[in-house]
Every structure is written in C-alpha cells, then in structure tokens.
Structure 1
C-alpha cells in the first residue's frame, strides 16, 4: 500500500503545537509532550508550543497567527474536539480553514475504531489548510494523539512517503493567491 522511498531526501517540517484546556498547564500536557517527542524523533522541528483556554476566539487567534508565520508549516492542536459545550476547537479550526481535509477525520475514525470501537464516534478530529499551512485538531487524550501521529501524520509529513504525502504539495497550497 504505502512505503518510504529511501532514494529521496528527508525534508523536515516546522510544526507548532497548541494544547486547548481550561485545566492543564504546559507542565501537565502529556499529549503535547508525546507529540513533541514524536515530532523531534521523526526529524521535524518543533516550531512553537503553547496552551490556551477552551475559548473559540483565543484558539482562532493562535491558529491565524501561526498561519501567518513563515516559520510554521503545520499546526496541531489537542483538546476540545468532543461533544460538550466547552469543546469549541473544531469550530475555531473551521473558522480558519480555506479548505477542509475531510478524509483526515474519516481515516482518524477508522484508526480509532480499531482501538476503542464505537467510542470513536465521539471525536470530531479535523484537518484543513489555511494560508499554505496545514492545521489538525486532535482529541486531548495521549492515546488519540499517539494514534493520529503514528498512523497518519507521521507518514503524511514524510516527503519520502509513497504514493503521495502532504509535504510534496506544500508549494501548491497557496497557488490560487499567485494567479492573476
């Protein structure tokens, strides 16, 4: 199905992490720690890491700031993807997206279903693109973050991954802005 083409050079990606929580600090952010370690272990760059409250305006502000930052290629947020009233991360992401990557949610659900069965329906993980930056909203649990990274994102952010990957289309994400 998919494979790594060892003849291609690895291209590091600059990834920012945002933990969304009303109760945790960065020191208690186990999901963020897990992702930061996996990002570095894969050869990528941890461009920034922050925490913010479950507040749609605050989340959207961080996302927009990183999308405008040429030193950030990808933003991954954790937390706030559930069904409760305080879970507003998905809405914040969708307010920023130029295009949603609908298949990310589908594939994430497939991966989750294998681990947690029908409880996978409670996640609203999402992905999209804005201003040439990839954005992903993951659940706050470290298990869900591990699954998303290990089963999906790690491969899609490896330029050597075949038959295709997110890295190879970076130059074309904002081509519509260059057309006259």
Structure 2
C-alpha cells in the first residue's frame, strides 16, 4: 500500500499548466484553475500557464518549448483528450514523448470508472516523458482534473510517497542525453 514517509523532506516541483481550447480564456478556464489551486496548495510552484487552440502543431510546439525550459519539471495539459475531430491533444503529446507512461492512462481510467462509470471509456488521458520533463494530458472537465490530481499526481509528484514516485527519478530522466 502507498504511504507518505514523513521522515523525508517534501520537494516542490515546478509545474506548467496548459489549457487546450478554441473557446476559453484564462478568465473562463475552470479546469486550469483547479490544477493551479491543487498544485499550489500541495506546495508546488506554478512555473507557467497558457491557453492554446486545439491545433496539434501549436500544442506540440508549446510542450517542446516547456520541455526545453530547465525551470519546468512537469507539464499538465487539460482539454482535447476526447474523441471528436478537434481533440488532438493526445496526438500532440505523443509527437513530443520520448517515452510514454502507459499505466498513467490505465490508472486514470480506473479512477474515472469509479466516479463516472462506463463514460470513462471516452477519455484518452495520457502521460509521458520528454527531455527530462513529465507531460500529462487530462480531460477538460474540472472533475477530471480534480480526480487526476487527487488520486494520481498528488502522490506521484510527492517525493515522500512510497514505495516510489516520479520525483525521485527526475534526475535520471535525461541520463541518456548525458552519456557519451
């Protein structure tokens, strides 16, 4: 079972929030607001936040820009993970990934199944790593963002979480780029 090891110090990570939407502005971005509130309440730092339209190339460009920024450890996007023709966030993420975290989507589906039943099959949440940066694509609903943070990311982005977590392996995510 997972636990928080209180003998370890908390390590804050720097998280950028990307909202994918053709219609929302920051003032109307409830899902982005949920993520910002959750990550800052959890002791992490908001590194950046923006909105881009549902355009695969623009989403990928923003992800790559943030992955190249040494001041950003994690990128969480919200929106564009559904099944419609304009939903291209997952494809944009996969254009950028060096490695996909397949189990992230599976665990998100399990969490969603408990909350929204079989409607969970319509989500294509995904996670991966690129240039030493974690990338997660979440659905555009505030509830889905709460569920992903509260049930998965809050724990995996906490260095004290046992038996393992994403933070403890951050220094090794880009080790293949350092080998000569």
Range of TM-score over shorter length = over 0.9
* Number of positions where the alignment pairs a residue of Structure 1 with one of Structure 2: 180
Could you list the per-position Cα deviations for residues 68-102 of structure 1 after superposition, in whole angstroms to 9, with x for gaps in the alignment?
00000000000000000000000000000000000
Could you list the per-position Cα deviations for residues 92-129 of structure 1 after superposition, in whole angstroms to 9, with x for gaps in the alignment?
00000000000000000000000011100000000000
Residue 46 (structure 2) pairs with residue 16 (structure 1): no
Residue segments in structure 2 that go unaligned for 5+ positions in a row: none
Q: TM-score, normalised by structure 1?
A: 0.99
Secondary structure of 2:64 counterpart: helix
What is the distance in 2 between the residues matched to 1:26 and 1:124? 24
Pairwise CA distance, 1:146: 0.3
Residue segments in structure 1 that go unaligned for 5+ positions in a row: none
Alignment map for 1:5-154 (pairs within 5 Å): 5-154=5-154
What is the distance in 2 between the residues matched to 1:33 and 1:142? 8
What is the distance in 2 between the residues matched to 1:41 and 1:128? 24
Could you list the per-position Cα deviations for residues 155-175 of structure 1 after superposition, in whole angstroms to 9, with x for gaps in the alignment?
000000000000000011011
Q: Which runs of 4+ in 1 moved over 3 A?
A: none
What is the distance in 1 between the residues matched to 2:140 and 2:177? 34
What is the distance in 1 between the residues matched to 2:34 and 2:79? 14
Could you list the per-position Cα deviations for residues 135-167 of structure 1 after superposition, in whole angstroms to 9, with x for gaps in the alignment?
000000000000000000000000000000000
RMSD of Structure 2 on Structure 1 (CA): 0.4
Could you list the per-position Cα deviations for residues 55-74 of structure 1 after superposition, in whole angstroms to 9, with x for gaps in the alignment?
00110010000000000000
What is the distance in 1 between the residues matched to 2:175 and 2:52? 32
What is the distance in 1 between the residues matched to 2:113 and 2:56? 28
Could you list the per-position Cα deviations for residues 6-37 of structure 1 after superposition, in whole angstroms to 9, with x for gaps in the alignment?
00000000000000000110110001101101
